[in-house]
Amino acid sequence: MILDERKRHILESVIKDYVATAEPVGSRAVVRKHALNISAATVRNEMADLEEMGYLEQPHTSAGRIPSEKGFRYYVDCMMENENPSDEQIEVLHKILEDSIQEWNDVVQGIGHFLSQVTNYASFIIVPSVKFSQFQSLQLIPIQEGQALVLVVTDIGIIMHRKIAIPRSIKARDLQAIGDLFNRAFRGKRLSEVQRSDLQLLRDELKNRRQVIDKSLEALDNLLDSPHDEKVVISGALNILKEPEFKDMDKLRRILTLFEEDGPLKGILPEQIKEGVDIRIGQENQAEDIKEMSLVFAGYRTAGEMGKIGLIGPVRMEYWKAAGTVESVRRIIDDLMNSSGSDPKLFKK
C-alpha cells in the first residue's frame, strides 16, 4: 500500500504526537505543530482517509485520532529512521563494559541497565544455553576434607561449578587423574552431545574409583540440566509504571509477573531469530500475555549460538529510539564477542 507524501506526513505527525502525549491527536494539533500550509479541514479529510485505510482509529467519534497497530507497522516498515544513542551514551556503555570486564555477569547486567536507562523501557537479555557451547575442560579440585569441587569450563569461558562429597581416602593426585580422564573423553564436544550413554561408558571404565566418578557424573549431569540454559536478565521493569496505559492494576500485575520470573519471557520470543532488529507490535505477538505490548529485539552471535537482547514497551513506543539503541548495542556486543582483536577482549575464540 502506497501513501502519498501528505498522508505520510500526517501519519508521522499523529504518531509522534501520540507517542509523546498518550492522547488522541486532533486535526488542529497536526497543523499547529507541524506547520504544513494546509488547513485543519484538509487534514481532517486526509485523516478520514487514513482511518478508512486502517492506519488511524478513533477512540470515540468526537476525539482525535490515534495510530492503529497497522499504522505503527506502516511507519516502522516504510518511514522510520533509527535514532541512535548519542556518542556520549555509547561512551558510557563502553566504560561500563571495560569496568566489568572478565565478569560475564557484570557485563550482562551492565548492558541491561544501559538499554533500559537510555530508552526508558524494560530491557531483557537472553544468554544462549551453555548446552550449545563446547566443553572445554573439567577439573576436580579438593576444597576441604571430604569435599571437592567439580569445575567445568566452556569454550566461551563460562565457568560452572558444583560441590560434591568424596571419600577421605581420595587424594588430590587421584582427583587430577580422574579429571584428566573426563577431559580426554569429552574435550571439544558440545555439552548437548555429552549423552548419558557417554557418561555411563566412562563409569564402567573406571570401576575402581566408582564413588568419585559417580558423584562427578551426577554433578556434571546436574550442571547440564541446570538453570544455566538460557539465562534471562531483565532490567528496568519498573519503567512500565511510567506509562499511562498501565495505570490499571490488573494489567500492570500481569505484565510485571512476566518479568518477575525468567520462564515466561522466553515464551514470548520467537524461537528463531535473525541478526538484525525485529519489531513485534501489539497483536502481532504470539503470546497472549503481551498482545498489548510491543517488542523490539535482535539476536547477537556468540560462539556460534544466538543470544537475544531487546526492549519491551507499550504499543505507543518510541520505536525509532528503541530500534536504534538495540541495534547499536547489538553491534557492540558482537564486536566484543567476536573480536580477535589486539588487546584482551572479553572472550577469545
Residue ranges that bind a second copy, judged by CB under 8 A? 102-103, 136-137, 139, 141, 143-144, 146-147, 149, 151, 153, 157, 159, 161-165, 237-238, 241, 247, 249, 252-253, 256-257, 260, 344, 348
d(CA 191, CA 196): 11
- Residues contacting residue 66 through CB under 8 Å, at least 6 positions apart: 14, 18, 24, 25, 56, 57, 58, 59
Is residue 161 within 8 Å of 205, Cβ to Cβ? no
CB 149, CB 143: distance < 8 Å = yes
Nearer to DNA, 63 or 241 (CB): 63
CB of 66 to DNA, least distance (A): 10
Cell readout for 255 is: 505484565
CB of 348 to a second copy, least distance (A): 8
What's the min distance (Å) between Cβ of 10 and a second copy? 33
Contact characters 108-127, DNA, x per CB under 7 A: --------------------
Binding of DNA by 63 (CB under 7 A): yes
Query: Binding to DNA by residue 129, rule CB under 7 A?
Result: no
CB of 251 to a second copy, least distance (A): 11
Shortest Å, Cβ 109 to DNA: 40
Instruction: Find the shortest distance in angstroms from Cβ 239 to DNA.
Output: 24
Closest CA to 300 of 287, 292, 309: 309
335 binds, among a second copy, DNA, none (CB under 5 to 8 A by kind): none
Q: Tell whether residue 60 is a contact of DNA (CB under 7 A).
A: yes
Residue 163 binds which one of a second copy, DNA, none, with CB within 5 to 8 A depending on kind?
a second copy
Query: 239, 273, 233: which is closest to 111 by C-alpha?
Result: 233
Asked if 308 interacts with DNA (CB under 7 A), we say no
Cβ-based nearer residue to a second copy, 63 or 143: 143
Q: How far apart are CA 298 and CA 89, in angstroms?
A: 20
Partner from DNA, a second copy, none contacting 38, C-beta within 5 to 8 A by type: DNA
What residue 151 binds from DNA, a second copy, none (CB within 5 to 8 A, per partner kind)?
a second copy
Residue 39 interaction partner, one of DNA, a second copy, none, beta carbon < 5-8 Å per kind: DNA
* Strand ranges (E), the chain: 56-57, 66-67, 122-127, 135-144, 147-154, 159-165, 231-235, 277-281, 293-302, 305-314
Q: Which does 61 bind (CB under 5 to 8 A by kind): DNA, a second copy, none?
A: DNA
CA–CA distances in Å: residue 183 to residues 129, 138, 139, 257: 21, 6, 8, 42
Contacting residue, 29, 220, 240, 312, with DNA by CB under 7 A: 29
Regarding 9 and contact with DNA (CB under 7 A), the answer is no
Q: Which helix (H) or strand (E) holds 182?
A: helix 172-186
Closer CB to a second copy, residue 103 or residue 205? 103
* CA pseudo-torsion sign 65, 69, 72, 73: negative
- Residue type present at position 106: D
Which of 8, 12, 40, 198 binds DNA (CB under 7 A)? It is: 40
Pairing of strands 122-127, 231-235: antiparallel
Instruction: Pull the grid cell for residue 279.
Output: 519489531
Query: Which residues sit at the interface with DNA, rule CB under 7 A?
Result: 24-29, 37-42, 44-45, 47-48, 51, 58-65
